[in-house]
């Protein structure tokens, strides 16, 4: 008997249901329609700042948080003002934060 025939027979043997094990009937797993509270593109308020959600997965949501404009004077009394780049912050994807731009969908 060749190795291929033996491998197919052992796979067929494993595929048969065990007669000693009761059969599970009616067990259907359906994922939720919206698995996470936050979604990409949401605008939220976090620590009095407006933030945009960039990426969401099961463990974290990555948001862009704008930094405040910096105003200061140089040694020669010339005023300087610049906007630093936004910072990336990771929060829980199920965080209880205020979502500002989401509208409720009506069931069809």
Domains of the chain, start order: 32-99 (2.30.30)
Structure tokens at 39: 């979604």
- Secondary structure (3-state) at 73: strand
pLDDT of residue 93: 86
Closest CA to 40 of 106, 108, 101: 101
Over its length of 108 residues, how does the chain's per-residue pLDDT go in tens digits?
555 555 555 555 566 666 676 665 555 665 555 555 888 899 999 888 889 999 998 889 999 998 889 999 999 999 999 999 999 999 998 888 888 887 666 565
pLDDT of residue 97: 86
pLDDT of residue 53: 93
Residues 66, 76: Cα–Cα separation, whole Å:
29
Give the pTM: 0.56
The number of angstroms, rounded, from the C-alpha of 49 to the middle of its chain's C-alpha atoms is 21
Residues 59, 69: Cα–Cα separation, whole Å:
31
- The residue written with tokens 């005023």 in the block is 79
pLDDT of residue 6: 59
- Secondary structure (3-state) at 91: strand
Burial class (CB in 10 A: 0-12, 13-18, 19+), 6: exposed
pLDDT of residue 108: 55
């Amino acid at each position: 008997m060749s190795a291929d025939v033996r491998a197919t027979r052992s796979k067929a043997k494993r595929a048969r249901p065990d007669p000693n094990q009761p059969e599970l009937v009616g067990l259907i797993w359906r994922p939720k329609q919206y698995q996470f509270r936050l979604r990409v593109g949401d605008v939220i308020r976090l620590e009095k700042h407006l933030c945009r959600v960039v990426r969401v997965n099961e463990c974290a949501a990555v948001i862009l948080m704008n930094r405040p404009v910096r105003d200061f004077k140089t040694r020669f009394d010339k005023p300087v003002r610049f906007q630093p780049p936004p910072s990336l912050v990771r929060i829980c994807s199920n965080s209880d934060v205020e979502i500002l731009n989401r509208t409720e969908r009506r069931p069809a």
